[in-house]
Amino acid sequence: MRKLILLLASALVVSTASPASAESPSTVVRGIVDTTRSGPILSRHLQGQFAEHLGGGIYDGVWVGPDSAIPNTRGIRKDVAAALKAIRVPVVRWPGGCFADIYHWRDGIGPAAKRPVRKNDWWGGLESNAFGTHEYFDFVEQIGAQSYVAINMATSTPSEMREWMNYITSSSADTIANERRANGRKEPWKLGFVGIGNEAWGCGGAQVAEAFADDYRRFSTFLHRNGSTFHMHNDNAALRVASGANNDDTKWTDLLLAKAGPMMDAISLHYYTVYDGKWEHRDMAPATGFPAEHWNHILYQAWRMDEVLRAHEVVMDKHDPQKRIGLFVDEWGTWYAPEKGTEPGYLFQQNSLRDALVAASTLNIFHAHADRVRMANIAQAVNVLQAMILTDGARMAKTPTYYAFQLYVPFQDATALPLSLQSPQIASGNHRFPALTASAARSKDGKIWIALSNADATQGYRVVLDGVAARKVSGQVLTAAKMDAHNVPGQVEQVTPQPFRGASLSGQRLTLEVPAKAVVVVSLSD
Ligand code: AHR
């Protein structure tokens, strides 16, 4: 099915996108939308988020405490919660990342004043444990998201995991459930997903795949998931996500599926967009004020998500042709040099129009792989890496990435429609990648939605799509004059969606005048 909706990228035009050149007249690009056939459901979880105890990701970003002068609901920032709710964040992965493997859940329950203060050995600073299990579930309930808890596998035991799972999900009168009740929560919480391990090949214990597969089987057995063999009577019905590969390490996926495939519901994949594709070169790319050639360079690295997914899918199809096991890209996004004057371990970076293009083109790639890719969690929600939101004291800015996600909300749980598009190609060094990526889908209310990202920094395109029968079209565009236009807390936002006036309909033909470096989303109706 993926092939049906995959974009046909052929080299009609190769643009080196020198940002100094004047914008040339639109070039026509043709495509077809097949509204008579359906592709897979585009799971809302593809727009998931990740929030780790790292820098300002939780403290200041989400949690300010009930006594803060910053408006809050039981300690959770009202402005941030409202902004995340508005983009219908479907799921939040927590508490890490690398932090998950040094986190002991008992540190984060009970009276706040009695909780231990620990060193955050991965990212620096002190962990107050003010934000723990109750606060996390309060947060996801406030924003209407599902929960995705990553357990500590590397410095903990199946026993500690079991107790945490029971604390969260037990509906009986056992001692752990009663402890939860005594701490203020009568009913169990709904646990959506459990991550078993995080980057087990790296910060999660530097394990080889064989050893991790054994450990995974052991932890997975004692997760006591309701629905799995022998565990029909348990309260925990969360889906099990095995710690998966880094980037294009398909050997990891192959071995894990061979050894433990039947004991997992999904396997994860982490892919970050970094300078040169090398994590150790991440500091060579600033988030803003970058040289013009970095535009294509970064967008090419983001486009590589497509080939990385294909490689893992080949392996997964071999072990699981029925596609029972999902591929969850539960960490992705841009990773630049930290902002000057900030603590490097806090991974605080600005977020520009270029990040909006990375976000939109990546969501289009996920849509093209939606028969296997059923969750993705951008890193991270607030103040860390490619964030939705940046805070500065009481002030907050929605980033260009936030607005790209906002434009894509109608794609949540919509049904993909096959779309082919002959995209021009852009050059980045010896590499080529498509200027245009696109998605088409039908939402539950019957509307057709089309999204286009144009990564070409200087060239707008007239996109002519056939096969669309509708009478009305309206939409929004996200763009700016400068490649690194960005939003700063407390200042007028420079990058926000605007009404899109470049769409017209004629018979079954939709024409879209897509500007350079822009994201366009339109809806069609009768
Ligand atoms: O998102 C920051 C870090 O990146 C996460 O903690 C880790 O899993 C990954 O290496």
Per-residue pLDDT of 125-161, as tens digits, reads 999 999 999 999 999 999 999 999 999 999 999 999 9
Measured torsion, CA atoms of residues 101, 107, 110, 115, in degrees rounded to the nearest 10: -140
Per-residue pLDDT of 295-339, as tens digits, reads 999 999 999 999 999 999 999 999 999 999 999 999 999 999 999
Cα–Cα distance between 468 and 367 in angstroms, integer?
19
Task: Give pLDDT, residue 251.
Answer: 98
**Residue nearest to ligand 1 atom 9, measured at CA:** 97
Per-residue pLDDT of 210-236, as tens digits, reads 999 999 999 999 987 776 655 556 788
**Is any atom of ligand 1 closer than 6 Å to the C-beta of 199?**
yes
Cα dist from 199 to 102, 153, 210, 309, whole Å: 13, 11, 14, 17
Cα–Cα distance between 523 and 526 in angstroms, integer?
10
List the pLDDT tens digit at each of the 526 positions of the chain. 444 344 433 323 334 444 333 444 469 999 999 999 999 999 999 999 999 999 999 999 999 999 999 999 999 999 999 999 999 999 999 999 999 999 999 999 999 999 999 999 999 999 999 999 999 999 999 999 999 999 999 999 999 999 999 999 999 999 999 999 999 999 999 999 999 999 999 999 999 999 999 999 999 999 877 766 555 567 888 999 999 999 999 999 999 999 999 999 999 999 999 999 999 999 999 999 999 999 999 999 999 999 999 999 999 999 999 999 999 999 999 999 999 999 999 999 999 999 999 999 999 999 999 999 999 999 999 999 999 999 999 999 999 999 999 999 999 999 999 999 999 999 999 999 999 999 999 999 999 999 999 999 999 999 999 999 899 999 999 999 999 999 999 999 999 999 999 999 999 999 999 999 999 999 999 8
> Of 160, 136, 161, 130, which is closest to residue 148 (Cα–Cα)?
136
Interval between CA 347 and ligand 1 midpoint (Å): 10
> Of 396, 491, 490, 399, which is closest to residue 71 (Cα–Cα)?
396
Catalytic residues: 199, 331
Interval between CA 282 and ligand 1 midpoint (Å): 13
**Residue nearest to ligand 1 atom 6, measured at CA:** 97
- The answer to whether the beta carbons of residues 38 and 416 sit under 8 Å apart is yes
| Three-state SS at 455 | coil
Return the ligand 1 atom nearest residue 272 CA.
4
**Residue nearest to ligand 1 atom 4, measured at CA:** 97
**Helix and strand element counts for the chain (H, E):** 11, 29
